[in-house]
Structure formats: structure tokens, C-alpha cells
Chain A
Amino acid sequence: MSEWAIEAENLVKKFPRKADSAENGSNGAQSGAGKKFWPFGKKKEMTYFTAVDGVNLQIRQGEIFGLLGPNGAGKSTTIRMLCTLLEPTSGTARVNGFDILKEPTQVRQSLGTVLAGERSIYWKLTARENLEYFAALYHIPPAVAKKRAQELLERFELAARADDLVEKFSTGMRQRVAISKALVANPPILLLDEPTLGLDPQAARKVRELIAELKAAGHTILLTTHYMEEADQLSDRIGIIDQGKIIALDTPARLKERIGQKDVIRLEIAGWHEDLSRRLQEVGGVENLVSRRLEGEAMAEVTLHAENSRAVLPGILDRVNYNGTRLVNMNIVRPSLEDVFISLTGKALRD
């Protein structure tokens, strides 16, 4: 058996779109000219939006692999191709040794998937009915399905509400039902697409604990997230994806070591205005400055990198405490995955 649970080879997904929408811009990777399109009258140029641009991945059996990137980077498109919902434009992948194009049924048998969003289960069914229904779709006999559903309901602390309609559940409980559903056929590989999106902190923590337990039970997990702390905490290895391309791939520690020689300075500035960003970047030694608005228009969190924080701080303070702006808070922090992303792309994950 192969060492790899998932192998993607030069996976590409392009979506056609009309020239007008391409010109308006989007969060996608790029667009290229293509064949003519006929929109009822005059011919327009058809362009292609490249959502995934030559992704190569090798995920080991039993590891948690985090795919980290901002919204629109190509994470969900990659997951959708791996679980056979979406056909690649070119390239292919093998899941549990099965080719996603030639052996899609075996791929689906090998996978449990939780897609982003909470409507992937039936709200008008109970938790138990949902699990038994999806078990049948995986060809599990009813008697086995009932037992398996009960085990999962107990394991995910849903047994007390097992026979309530899912529409009466909290978002966190629904997510636990969705993860239970992904596990109902006990697949070796789990694809979890933004599993904590929209959850309150407590529910998100619980889901993260569950993910760690699933790894301990031997499942291979491909996790997509745009929460860097989540990827850092859970993943054995991380692929950072931006504009459809994997731009870095390593363990979280090694990724952070890449910028370990630099200081990461985080500032909170009141009275923020965009011109100040330009002025701060003029300070000698300041690199990779990104800003994010906080609590309305006048506050911003600014992150910047420098070889030597002592050398740049006087210049920064001179410019911040000037003409109505002032420094509210300042930290020199350990590099995070967000800083890795900033150093690679020049922008923040949340942009």
C-alpha cells in the first residue's frame, strides 16, 4: 500500500466566464483569454478564471495536513476535486490509492467529507435519522447503521438530543452531526473544509479536540482553514495556498523558522489613516507591513517585520505619534503562520 493517503499531481481547475465579469475583477487567481463566446448578439471574448493552478500534494497516511489560505485561495476547490464533486481541468489525484477520475466510487468510499457551511445535513430529520440515512448511502446494512449511529451520537455527546430535529440544534451541535455523518462509514480519510467556520469559540475548541482525537484513532485528515492558529495547533504539515498555488509546504515549526531571524512587530494605532501606512514603510528596515482596521474606522492593527526591531522602532514612533495619531499598544511577538503568509505574499490572511 502506498505511503500516501492523498496524492495530487498538477491539479488545475479553470472556470470559464464572460469577459465582462472577468474585467470587474474577483478574488480569484488569474484569468486568461480563450475562445469566443456568443451572448445573444455580439461575440465576446471568453476568459478563464484559474481557481487551482497546478497543485501538487502528498499527504501521508495518519497525518493531519492543513491547507491554509485566505478566502478564494483555492482551498475548497481543491477539496471538491478530491471528493469528486468537481472535475479537474487537468491533472489528477489519487485518494487511498484510487484515481479521482477513473475510480470515483472507490474514492467516495474512502472519504468522509465535511464541506463548509452548516446546511450539509437535513434539518428536518433528527440527528439519528441523518446518520442512518447517510450510512445507507454508504451501503451499510440497517442493523449495523443503527449501532454505528448510536456509537457516534454518544462519542460526539449528541445522544441526549439524538431524536430531536436538527433544526432545533445550535450551530456547534450541527457541526458535530456533520462530522459524525462524515465518520459514519468509518472512512480512512477525512476532508474537513473550514470545520470551525461560524462556530463560537467554545464550539470551535470542541471541534478542534475532536479532530485531534480522530487523528489519534488513525484517520488521515486534510483540513482547510483560514484560521492560522487552528492550522498551527492541529496540523503535522501545512500547505500555504494563495491564488490557486501552493506557495509553501512544511511543518508549522519549519515554516515559522523561515522568518525566525526577523522580528515581528505588532502595533495598535489610534487615529489611523492610510497615508500613515506609506510613511511607515519609508522607515529604513521595515518590511512586509500590513494593516487591519479594528473597532471601526479610527483604529488599526499593524504588523511589520524587521531584521532588527531596535533599529526601526525610533523611526516608527516618530511617525506614529504625529498629527493626531498615537500608539495604543505595541508587542514584539514570535512569528506566526500569518507572518509566514505575509512574508510570502505581502498581504494578510484576512485580506
Chain B
Amino acid sequence: MTTTSRALAPGQVRTAEGVLGEWGALLAVARKEWLYVRRYPSWVISLLIWPVIFPLAYILSARALSGPDQSGLALFIARTGISDYLGFIAIGTTVWMWQNVVLWGVGFALRNEQWRGTLETNWMAPTWRFTFLLGPSLVHLAQMLIFMLVSAIEFGVFFGVRFNGNPLLVILLIAVSAPSVYGLGIAFASVVVWLKEAHNFVQMVRGLVMIFCGISFPIALLPGWMQEVAVFLPQTYMMRAIRSAALANATLSDLMPDIIALLGFGAFFLAAGYILFQWTERRARRAGAIGQY
């Protein structure tokens, strides 16, 4: 295509080719998502309330069960090596919340476009179609980083949690966890375009993470077969590594096995998400289901 004419004839338009053009498309999708987030500002209320409300039930249960003199905590410390059970619960619930919100947010990104009536319009553009999932994932990750920061502040203010570990290590762990969290979200998004709903799947994954990964208790308490299931869930590694980094002063070398596992899970879930996306997209194109409600 030409790049010089001032008054362009049909078919003549200045375009950025290849990776640069696709990068511009990705930024545009992310910007559009961000504009939608800004124009529906009620999420800010959730951002402030949920970090306090959600872990409260677990925290109060833990307080009640640890006894008036909190003597029951000794067993907990012996099992986990972490003395701050409030921080332990707060990190568990935050990781759970992260995956939960990704399933609803990224998992329903394409479905939301179907509801708006705009999915077909996007699909008719020469953009790499996976970009329409990567863009919302970027915005969502930014939102979740804000959510985690607000959570950390509120845990300190309301529950007296003190994160005494290396914050850079925590950030690194969030970064290596993101591919598996968002890979699962992208896989969900593909299923949702195909099946039109995935509420039951979301409930199932939330339940798995809640019970098997130990959001409020050490998984050593689980029966043996449940611990074996936990080994196959990346959230188990996320919770363990972030708790160790934030509350038990773990070093990078201590965390390396979990980091490698998380990168492995990330590669698997992103690849699975991409393959599932390609498969369901083709299926929807054959069935004429791309624009259907």
C-alpha cells in the first residue's frame, strides 16, 4: 500500500506493517478497555471493600479457633513456618481473588463484546485475533496490581499485617504467576465464546483453588490425595511462594523451585489458552456463532 498520496484513493492508506502495526492494535485494544473501565467506575468501590470483607470471615474463624490466649497458633506456626496467620490468610485470599476476577474479567472479555454487539466488527479487522484477549489481560493486570497494592495497605491498616519480606521478590512472583493466571482466563474466554456461558466452570475452578490450594490453611492439613491434586494447581505455588517472600524473608534461591514451576505452568496455560482459542474461533466461524448472544 502506498504511503505518499495526500488525497488517498480507495485502497491507499498508510499502514504500519508487521509487529509494529500489531503492537499499535494491542495498545488500542488496551486503551479501549481502559476507557470502558473508567466509564463504569463502580469497580473502585469493590476495590476498596473486597480486600477487607473477603478475608474477614477466615480471620475471625482463625481468631476464634486459636483460643483466648492464641495458644492454638503454635501448631499453625509449626506447620507453616509463618507466625503471621493474618498475613497468611490475606495472601491466600488475594491470590484466590486474583484468579477469580480474571475468570470473570478476561474470561468474559469476548462474551462482553458479543453482548455489546461489537465482536463481529472487531473480527472483521485484519488484526491478529488473539490481540483481543491480550489487550483486556493487560488492563486487567494493571487493575489487579492496584487491587493488590490497596489490599496490602488495608491489611496493614485494618488487620495490622506487616509484610516484612523483599517487595521486589513479591513483584517478581506476581510477574511469573501472571502467565498461568491469565492463560487460564484466556482458555475460559474461548470456552465462553463457544458455550455462551461458563458460570459452572468458574465456580468449579474457584472451589478447587479455595479447597486444594489452602487459601486459609496449610495444605499439609489436607488428606494425602488432596495434596497430590494441589501439586497440579499453580495457585498452590503462588500462595506458598508469595507467603514465603512477604512473610518469612525467603530468598530468591529459596523460591527458585516455585518460580520454575510457575513459569512451567504459565507456558502450559498460555499455550493451552491459545490452542483452545484457535479451535473455538474456527468452530464459531463455521457455525456462524461469533456474533450470537
List residues of chain A with CB under 8 Å of any chain B CB.
13, 15, 77, 80, 83-87, 96, 105-106, 108-111, 113, 115, 117, 119-125, 129, 132-134, 136-142, 144, 148, 165, 181, 185-189, 217-220
For B273-293 the 0/1 string (1 means CB < 8 A from A) is 000000000100111101100
Q: How large is the interface on B (under 10, 10 to 19, 20 to 34, 35 or more residues)?
A: 35 or more
Q: Is B45 an interface residue (CB 8 A)?
A: no
Find chain A residues with CB under 8 A from B116 CB: 119, 122-123
From the candidates B17, B126, B286, name the one contacting A87 in the complex (CB within 8 A): B286
With A122-B32, A133-B28 given, is the CB distance from A85 to B118 under 8 Å?
no
Name the residue on A nearest B9 (C-beta): A218
Are A217 and B10 in contact (CB-based, < 8 A)? yes
Are B32 and A133 in contact (CB-based, < 8 A)? yes
Are A111 and B28 in contact (CB-based, < 8 A)? no
From the candidates B15, B32, B290, name the one contacting A139 in the complex (CB within 8 A): B15
A284-B25 Cα distance, complex, nearest whole Å: 66
With A133-B28, A133-B31 given, is the CB distance from A121 to B287 under 8 Å?
no
Q: Is B72 an interface residue (CB 8 A)?
A: no
Are B121 and A188 in contact (CB-based, < 8 A)? no
Find chain B residues with CB under 8 A from A133 CB: 28-29, 31-32
- 11 pairs across A/B with beta carbons < 8 Å? A13-B288, A15-B288, A85-B120, A85-B123, A86-B290, A87-B282, A108-B125, A115-B120, A136-B28, A137-B29, A138-B125
A6 CB, nearest partner CB in chain B, Å:
14
For B136-157 the 0/1 string (1 means CB < 8 A from A) is 0000000000000000000000
Are B126 and A86 in contact (CB-based, < 8 A)? no
For window 151-189 of B, CB contacts with A under 8 Å fall at none
Are A86 and B31 in contact (CB-based, < 8 A)? no
Question: Could you say which of A13, A80, A148 has the most chain B C-beta atoms within 10 Å of its C-beta?
Answer: A80
Question: Could you say which of B14, B20, B122 has the most chain A C-beta atoms within 10 Å of its C-beta?
Answer: B14
Q: Is B199 an interface residue (CB 8 A)?
A: no
Are B10 and A77 in contact (CB-based, < 8 A)? no
Which A-B residue pairs are the 7 nearest by beta carbons? A119-B117, A139-B21, A136-B28, A137-B125, A188-B11, A108-B126, A186-B13
A85-B25 Cα distance, complex, nearest whole Å: 19
B133 CB, nearest partner CB in chain A, Å:
14
Q: Is B27 an interface residue (CB 8 A)?
A: yes
List residues of chain B with CB under 8 Å of any chain A CB.
8-17, 20-22, 24-25, 27-29, 31-32, 35-36, 39-40, 116-118, 120-127, 282, 285-288, 290-291
A333 CB, nearest partner CB in chain B, Å:
38
Find chain A residues with CB under 8 A from B125 CB: 108, 134, 137-138
Are B24 and A85 in contact (CB-based, < 8 A)? no
A113-B13 Cα distance, complex, nearest whole Å: 16
Name the residue on A nearest B125 (C-beta): A137
Question: Could you say which of A86, A109, A148 has the most chain B C-beta atoms within 10 Å of its C-beta?
Answer: A86
A109-B17 Cα distance, complex, nearest whole Å: 12
Are A115 and B285 in contact (CB-based, < 8 A)? no
Find chain B residues with CB under 8 A from A217 CB: 10
Name the residue on A nearest B31 (C-beta): A133
A290-B288 Cα distance, complex, nearest whole Å: 33
Are B25 and A136 in contact (CB-based, < 8 A)? yes
A28-B35 Cα distance, complex, nearest whole Å: 41
Are A137 and B35 in contact (CB-based, < 8 A)? no
Are B287 and A85 in contact (CB-based, < 8 A)? no
Are A117 and B117 in contact (CB-based, < 8 A)? yes
Find chain A residues with CB under 8 A from B17 CB: 139
Q: With contacts A106-B126, A123-B116, A138-B125 known, what are 6 further pairs, Cβ within 8 A?
A: A84-B124, A86-B288, A105-B126, A109-B126, A120-B120, A125-B32
Find chain A residues with CB under 8 A from B36 CB: 122, 124
Name the residue on A nearest B39 (C-beta): A124
B92 CB, nearest partner CB in chain A, Å:
35
Are B13 and A121 in contact (CB-based, < 8 A)? no
A134-B12 Cα distance, complex, nearest whole Å: 16
With A85-B124, A186-B10, A218-B9 given, is the CB distance from A136 to B27 under 8 Å?
yes
